[in-house]
């Protein structure tokens, strides 16, 4: 079932060198020979051994993703869409995706090992933390990588693609304020991740700009899951001075919020407004003529695609200078917002 280079060369009566070059598109082989080689390769069902190739070239045509197997499971649903996007791009470009799921404490070591053993040509970094050590490590190891998100605002020393989370939450907050809301709850993601930090900044800045004081009892920072939204919303609704609007970091807690609101006999969009960031997860479509949620939309799958492109480019053009993309979200008006009740 298939032959190797040597056998192919033998069958053709030419040297391995020439065959190898013919197959890899080198210019120093005549078109006539190349045709013959290609034909014979087809006929004998030749397929090169990736292992041998990797050993000989030192390149692996593989991109690594390391996922910490943390309690922050919340990463998963976002993750799967990102992966879907990136994965499509990889296979189109002939790259494999190597995925490693390891306990948090082995994370750095795994980065090191993947790189040192040359098992990957590049790495994708997810969910950067505030003082993320992975970035420094990869830089030191001189391994191409792209970060989905970014560590510091002005970091131009590596490639990243990020959503303008700060601006996005400024706009959302502004929208609610314009609608008359002055008591606005926040269901943020975990703030050791930079995106959540920026969202909080956007929120706080805008409140302040309108002379509204931030209220700690209606600001939360947890894993972006459904039950989080439910429980915290219930908690907020029980306050004497309950919020009239809630800003959510993901559609999952937003759904939890809706559940709590309905359970309390209130109506979303009338009694309580909700604006949420929406990663347009494929299994939670917030669409339709009038979408369920007013949302700041940004496709995480597209982000995966673009990050993959950037990474492949960086791998194939070493020495290229870093690329940065800051995506703005799309603000779509849905059914979940309305003027503040008087």
Partner DNA sequence: CGCAAAATCCAAAGCGGTTTGAATTGAGTT
Partner DNA sequence: AACTCAATTCAAACCGCTTTGGATTTTGCG
How far is it, in rounded angstroms, from Cα 231 to Cα 223? 12
Rounded Cα distance, 311 and 304, in Å: 11
Q: Which stretch binds a second copy (CB under 8 A): 23-31, 98-106, 163-171, 212-220?
A: 98-106
Regarding 35 and contact with DNA (CB under 7 A), the answer is no
For residue 62, state whether it binds DNA (rule: CB under 7 A).
Answer: no
Judged by CB under 7 A, which of 1, 25, 32, 342 binds DNA?
A: 32
Place of tokens 């192919």: 8
Q: Which position among 104, 113, 139, 210 is part of the footprint of a second copy (CB under 8 A)? A: 113
**For residues 250-309, which are near a second copy according to CB under 8 A?**
252, 255, 258-259, 262, 281-285, 287-288, 292
Stretch that binds DNA, among 51-59, 203-211, 251-259, 312-320 (CB under 7 A): 51-59
User: Residue 110, class by beta-carbon neighbours within 10 Å (0-12 exposed, 13-18 middle, 19+ buried)?
Assistant: middle
Distance from C-alpha of 153 to C-alpha of 41, rounded to nearest angstrom:
52
Beta carbon of residue 121, minimum distance to DNA (angstroms, whole number): 14
Residues 276, 278, 284, CA angle at the centre, nearest 5°? Answer: 115
Burial 169-186 (b: 16+ CB within 10 A, else e): bbbbbbbbbebebebbbb
- 227: nearest Cα among 70, 79, 74, 78: 74
Q: Residue 155: which of 166, 163, 147, 143 has the closest Cα?
A: 147
Q: Please list every residue from 53 through 82 that binds a second copy, using CB under 8 A.
A: 54-55, 60, 67, 69, 73-74, 76-77, 79-81
For residue 109, the surrounding DSSP H or E stretch is: helix 107-116
Contact pick of 18, 165, 194, 280 for DNA (by CB under 7 A): 18
CB 115 → DNA: shortest distance, Å?
Answer: 14
Residues that bind a second copy (CB under 8 A): 1-2, 47-52, 54-55, 60, 67, 69, 73-74, 76-77, 79-81, 83-84, 87-88, 90-91, 96-102, 106, 110, 113, 116-119, 224-227, 252, 255, 258-259, 262, 281-285, 287-288, 292
């Amino acid at each position: 079932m298939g032959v190797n280079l040597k056998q192919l060369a033998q069958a053709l009566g030419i040297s391995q060198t020439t065959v190898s070059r013919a197959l890899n598109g080198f210019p120093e082989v005549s078109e006539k020979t190349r045709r013959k080689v290609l034909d014979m390769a087809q006929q004998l069902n030749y397929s090169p051994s990736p292992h041998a190739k990797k050993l000989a070239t030192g390149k692996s045509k593989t991109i690594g993703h390391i996922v910490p197997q943390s309690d922050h499971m919340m990463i998963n649903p976002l993750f799967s869409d990102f992966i879907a996007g990136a994965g499509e791009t990889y296979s189109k470009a002939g790259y494999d995706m190597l995925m490693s799921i390891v306990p948090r404490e082995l994370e750095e070591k795994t980065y090191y090992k993947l790189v040192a053993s040359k098992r990957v040509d590049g790495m994708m970094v997810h969910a950067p933390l505030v003082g993320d050590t992975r970035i420094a490590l990869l830089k030191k190891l001189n391994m191409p990588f792209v970060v989905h998100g970014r560590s510091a605002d002005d970091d131009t020393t590596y490639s990243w693609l990020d959503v303008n989370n700060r601006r996005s939450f400024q706009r959302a907050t502004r929208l609610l304020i314009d609608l008359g809301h002055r008591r606005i709850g926040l269901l943020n993601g975990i703030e050791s991740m930079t995106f959540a930090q920026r969202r909080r900044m956007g929120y706080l800045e805008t409140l302040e700009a309108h002379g509204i004081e931030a209220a700690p009892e209606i600001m939360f920072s947890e894993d972006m899951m459904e039950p989080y939204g439910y429980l915290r919303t219930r908690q907020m609704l029980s306050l004497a001075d309950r919020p009239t609007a809630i800003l959510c970091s993901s559609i999952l807690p937003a759904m939890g919020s809706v559940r709590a609101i309905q359970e309390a006999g209130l109506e979303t969009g009338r009694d309580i407004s909700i604006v949420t960031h929406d990663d347009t997860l494929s299994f939670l479509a917030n669409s339709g003529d009038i979408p369920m949620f007013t949302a700041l939309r940004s496709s995480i799958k597209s982000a995966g695609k673009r990050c993959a492109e950037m990474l492949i480019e960086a791998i194939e053009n070493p020495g290229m200078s870093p690329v940065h993309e800051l995506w703005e979200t799309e603000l779509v008006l849905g059914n979940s917002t309305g003027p503040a009740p008087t």
